[in-house]
Structure 1
Amino acid sequence: MNLTALPEPAVVLAETDWGALEHAYGTAEDTPAQLVALLDDDQRVRSQALDHLHHVVHHQNTLYVATVPAALYVAGILSHPRTALPVDKRPRDFPGPMRAELLGWLNSVADAADDQAEATMRRFGFPPEDYPPFVRTCEIRPLLFSAVSVYFHDHDPHVREAALAACVPLLDDPRLYRHRKGVAPLLRERLATSALWQYQERAIEALESWGEDTAGLEVQRDAFEVCDPPTATSSSAEWDVAPADAADLPF
């Protein structure tokens, strides 16, 4: 994959041989229709399409060969006006419209190919370079970052926070290290002060790993009672998990 720019969503749909790709339940020939449905004018249809992303295309943090073109499509539609529409919410889901949900899904995809995921795979004897979905997800990280970073200053605070959170695993890419200095103040001033403790934690951990000052920052876990955090089935699955083990391997 030698993409130099984010492809148009219609091109991703038309030029991907979905029937030759696999997701969690076999051939991905059903995925194009679900990707199109993300922009349906019916909220129930949009919500079902979002479930397809979470539970089929990127099921339980697993990267499949179909995950990469789906991620390119999702990144490509972020600017579509219908991503500002709502989707169905379960108790404890993250707040925000479809755009925030899609950013949360890209966050999850990027998490499955970040430095921690790579270290976990190696620790259990699975070289990530031998797993094509991991390799291909890493290849498109600069393209995903270019799409996500547009929303760092969005008027919707839920979208802003989802975009900043999604950028953290993407910035594990050496080609993107130069952006860390510019992103760090945003993490400190916006994400670390979020009402959601998961965002606070993500910001503080990222800043610490980048060698940035975290003085005065602290995770306020009582925010759990103020803004319901996501369930494991939502677009931004909870990050308060046990240390990585074999169950966390991205396949």
Structure 2
Amino acid sequence: MNPVPLPDPTAVLAETDWCALEHAYGSAEDTHAQLIALLDADQGVRSRALEHLDHAVLHQTTLYSATAPAALYVAGVLSDPRTAATVNVLPRTSPAPLRAELLDWLGSAANEVTDEAESISRHHGFPPEDYPPFGRIREIRPALFAAVSDCLGDPDPQVREAAIAACIPLLDDPHLLSRRTDLIPLLRETLVISARWQYRDRAIEALAAWGEDTTGLEVRRDPFGWCDTPPDLSTSGWDLLPEDRDGLPF
């Protein structure tokens, strides 16, 4: 059973006091309009709205009070046909499906509340229970998973890969552990052969963490290697996830 049902996205917009919430740059009052703009008919407007999610609502993988309600809205619009439209995402040289980018963003938010993230936080003296945004994202993981998993059969291969990758951190939720069995074949058959090294590495690491045999599979790239390497925009290796894009000089 899903402990937190996914609310209607219009209700999230209307019933959330965005002025009382914060993102990386202060009041999240502007987030209401930016969430609406995700579904705008103009590609430039959609692209700027996505940048707001990446750089304000989840700035450098930091969770804020606005992150959870924004995540509920994003999950709620994944099935909207308008998310099949494209957005410009630097440093890519070609537009990407908005739905895939939103899935990546949800996966990035979920990655900040995994068991490993909790362990690291405690090790550095920051108990997650003292940070409400952490707990709020944890509470809504089952609701987010319900929306994300609905995209596993999307006709667009980029969306399918993004959905598989986004499911991985969500499945740390105690209510969802049993769903890992369903995802394992998708990790092996799709993600470990992805053209995106981030997806390949994430899949291999998940399989190993879940006790699966990873013989013959190995992480093929240092996830921080791009920091010291000039960008080659012609290669898929620079097809970065939201948490990797922040701070790039573009």
Instruction: Calculate the TM-score normalised by the size of structure 2.
Output: 0.88
* 2:164 is the alignment partner of 1:164: yes
Q: Following the alignment from structure 2 to structure 1, what is the Cα–Cα distance between the partners of residues 113 and 178?
A: 19
Q: Is the 8 A contact 2:61 2:243 kept in 1?
A: no
Q: Which residue of 1 aligns with 2:217?
A: 217
Calculate percent identity across the aligned residue pairs: 62
Q: Which residue of 1 aligns with 2:79?
A: 79
Question: Cα offset for 1:120?
Answer: 1.3
Unaligned residue ranges in structure 2 (runs of 5+): 222-231, 246-250
Question: Cα offset for 1:228?
Answer: 3.7
Q: Following the alignment from structure 2 to structure 1, what is the Cα–Cα distance between the partners of residues 32 and 86?
A: 21
Could you tell me which amino acid in structure 2 is paired with residue 237 of structure 1? D
Secondary structure of the residue that 2:244 maps to in structure 1? coil
Question: Cα offset for 1:216?
Answer: 3.0
Question: Cα offset for 1:89?
Answer: 2.8
Matches within 5 A, 1:153-192: 153-192=153-192
Q: Following the alignment from structure 2 to structure 1, what is the Cα–Cα distance between the partners of residues 211 and 238?
A: 28
Secondary structure of the residue that 2:41 maps to in structure 1? coil
* 2:226 is the alignment partner of 1:230: no
Matches within 5 A, 1:56-205: 56-92=56-92, 96-205=96-205
CA separation of 1:94 and 1:105: change in aligned 2, threshold 3 A: farther
Question: Cα offset for 1:91?
Answer: 2.5
Q: Following the alignment from structure 1 to structure 2, what is the Cα–Cα distance between the partners of residues 43 and 61?
A: 25
Question: Cα offset for 1:130?
Answer: 1.2
Q: Following the alignment from structure 2 to structure 1, what is the Cα–Cα distance between the partners of residues 109 and 67?
A: 8
Q: Which residue of 2 aligns with 1:7?
A: 7
Could you tell me which amino acid in structure 2 is paired with residue 152 of structure 1? L
Could you tell me which amino acid in structure 1 is paired with residue 217 of structure 2? L
Q: CA RMSD in A?
A: 2.0
Q: Following the alignment from structure 1 to structure 2, what is the Cα–Cα distance between the partners of residues 144 and 115?
A: 17
Q: Is the 8 A contact 1:23 1:57 kept in 2?
A: yes
State how many pairs are aligned: 233
Q: Is the 8 A contact 1:78 1:147 kept in 2?
A: yes
